[in-house]
């Protein structure tokens, strides 16, 4: 992996026992701790932060960190440990804050991709995992740069734009909010004030897939999160993720994941607290 500027060492998904904590400590590598669920206080370099689902911490080498849960809380995390080998990347991540919030679960999805590559070790798993980590780092860096760009001027009120990237982003945000409902590009175009054919073209150009493919993929991502984080049965999960029937959910899930939802859930539950080590290459 070093040729990509990063070296992933270890990944895991943890479910701490009720009241389980992480003692204060530091180490010589980078770490990301992402909270899937739970409440408590995370201390990073002497500063306390509230724990909540979707909050994650980008921990740099030799920084003291740990957490204490609320007494009744069961904390669930995704963890990743890695090294950064390129000076340019080291300088880039130095600008990142330690405590961050996920937006649309894009960071969680990338962490899950990295863990799954290491868990199953299919062909080219190592470079694919490294590329997912690079994507994660650059997404965070872009977000930070946009937040600190003082030259950006925000409009006083929302205005219609035909700039393709903005139009595609509006569709994405609408789908992220309404994925559990029945969606059609025709209705979204009417709601946003765009031509349907125009939205179809710019969405595919910007996201590399059709609107329908994106909706299916997003619903599967949401269903996977529910299968890991909740006790809902598969029928309830299918409904909450936006599928009309359990049969439709089963078909789409197997088509995209190569395994039935029940089989996937059983496999993932077996993997909780399983440390995933990456081969050194």
Structure confidence by residue, pLDDT tens digits, 34-68: 998 888 999 999 999 999 888 999 999 999 999 99
**The predicted structure's pLDDT at residue 62:** 95
Cα(217)–Cα(26) distance, integer angstroms: 38
Residue 276 belongs to some domain of the structure:
no
**The predicted structure's pLDDT at residue 224:** 86
Q: Nearest to residue 221, comparing CAs of 180, 187, 181, 186?
A: 180
Percent of the chain scoring above 70 in pLDDT:
91
Q: Are residues 128 and 176 in the same domain?
A: no
Q: Is the pLDDT of residue 71 over 70?
A: yes
Q: Are residues 42 and 120 in the same domain?
A: yes
Q: Is the pLDDT of residue 155 over 50?
A: no
**The predicted structure's pLDDT at residue 158:** 41
For the chain, give the mean pLDDT: 86
Q: Are residues 119 and 169 in the same domain?
A: no
Count the domains in the chain.
2
Q: Are residues 167 and 207 in the same domain?
A: yes
**The predicted structure's pLDDT at residue 279:** 66
């Amino acid at each position: 992996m070093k040729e990509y500027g990063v070296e992933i060492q270890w990944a895991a998904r943890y479910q701490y026992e009720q009241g389980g904590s992480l003692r204060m400590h530091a180490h010589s590598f980078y770490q990301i701790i992402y909270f899937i669920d739970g409440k408590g206080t995370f201390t990073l370099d002497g500063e306390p932060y509230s724990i909540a689902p979707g909050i994650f911490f980008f921990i740099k080498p030799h920084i003291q960190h740990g957490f204490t849960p609320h007494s009744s809380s069961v904390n669930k995390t995704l963890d990743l440990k890695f090294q950064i080998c390129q000076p340019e990347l080291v300088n880039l991540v130095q600008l990142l804050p330690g405590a961050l919030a996920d937006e649309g679960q894009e960071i969680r999805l990338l962490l899950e991709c990295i863990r799954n590559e290491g868990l199953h070790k299919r062909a080219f798993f190592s470079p694919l995992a490294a590329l997912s980590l690079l994507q994660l780092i650059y997404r965070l860096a872009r977000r930070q740069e946009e937040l600190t760009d003082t030259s950006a001027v925000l409009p006083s009120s929302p205005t219609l734009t035909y700039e393709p990237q903005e139009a595609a982003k509006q569709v994405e945000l609408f789908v992220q909010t309404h994925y559990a409902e029945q969606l059609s590009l025709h209705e979204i175009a009417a709601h946003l004030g765009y031509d349907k054919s125009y939205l179809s073209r710019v969405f595919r150009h910007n996201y590399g897939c059709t609107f329908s493919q994106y909706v299916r993929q997003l619903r599967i991502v949401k269903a996977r999160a529910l299968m890991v984080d909740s006790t809902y049965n598969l029928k309830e999960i299918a409904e909450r993720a936006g599928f009309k029937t359990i049969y439709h959910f089963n078909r789409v899930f197997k088509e995209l994941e190569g395994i039935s939802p029940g089989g996937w859930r059983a496999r993932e539950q077996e993997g909780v607290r399983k440390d995933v080590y990456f081969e050194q290459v």
